[in-house]
Amino acid sequence: MRGLIIRNILRFIALIAIQIFVLNNIYLGGYICPMLYAMFILMLPNRIGRIYTILIGFILGLSIDICSNTLGFHACATTVMAFCRTTFAEKIITRGEDISINTPSIYSVAPQFFIYYSSLLLLIHSLVFFALDYFNFTDILRIILSSVLTTVATLVLVIVWQMLFNHKRRTR
């Protein structure tokens, strides 16, 4: 248990640092802005309650907002993502079964379920973020395009992170 807490604290710090110092400086084609820090919400242990997940999501987003000077966009997007996470984890990852999975990853569940779960949550995160960023319905196509492209870019980074740092093979 203590190892899991330490691993999550280190992951929290590492993802914030990578987002602030590297990924916030990458804005490809005016539409793609990878948001790897959202992976922290994806990989939270399932036994954490919804309230704690939402609180952690808010703190994570607020940390990025403070360092990025983005007026609460990240805090709102990660809070909404954290709110949806519990439901999606129950419906997609465990598929309604009583299965105990400590941390959702590409190795702890079937890869297609993890990718589906991640894609949906990252898309929700991106849609909320870009809707707040543009805050104009005349830019709805730009919001959707930015959200989809950012989701794909972030999903690729999440999978690469999983392959680099999660050495465990499929275990249940």
End-to-end CA distance of the chain: 17
Residue 170 lies in a domain: no
Q: What is the pLDDT along the chain (172 residues), one digit of tens a residue?
A: 677 788 889 999 999 999 999 988 887 777 888 999 999 999 888 788 889 999 999 999 999 999 988 889 999 999 999 999 988 887 777 665 555 667 787 887 888 888 998 999 999 999 999 999 988 888 899 999 999 999 999 999 999 998 888 766 444 4
In a domain, 115, yes or no: yes
The CATH number of the domain where 119 resides is what?
A: 1.10.1760
| Residue 161 placed within a domain | yes
pTM of the model: 0.88
Tell me, yes or no, whether 143 lies in a domain: yes
Q: Which of 139, 25, 4, 20 is nearest to 68 (CA)?
A: 20
Number of domains the chain contains: 1
Residue with tokens 């740092």: 165
Question: In this structure, are residues 78 and 19 in contact, taking their beta carbons and an 8 Å threshold?
Answer: no
Q: Show the domain range for 57.
A: 2-165
Quickly tell me which residue has 């807490």 as its tokens.
Answer: 5
| 172 falls within a domain | no
Distances, alpha carbon 126 to alpha carbons 9, 13, 110, in Å? 24, 21, 24
94 in any annotated domain: yes
Query: Is residue 110 situated within a structural domain?
Result: yes
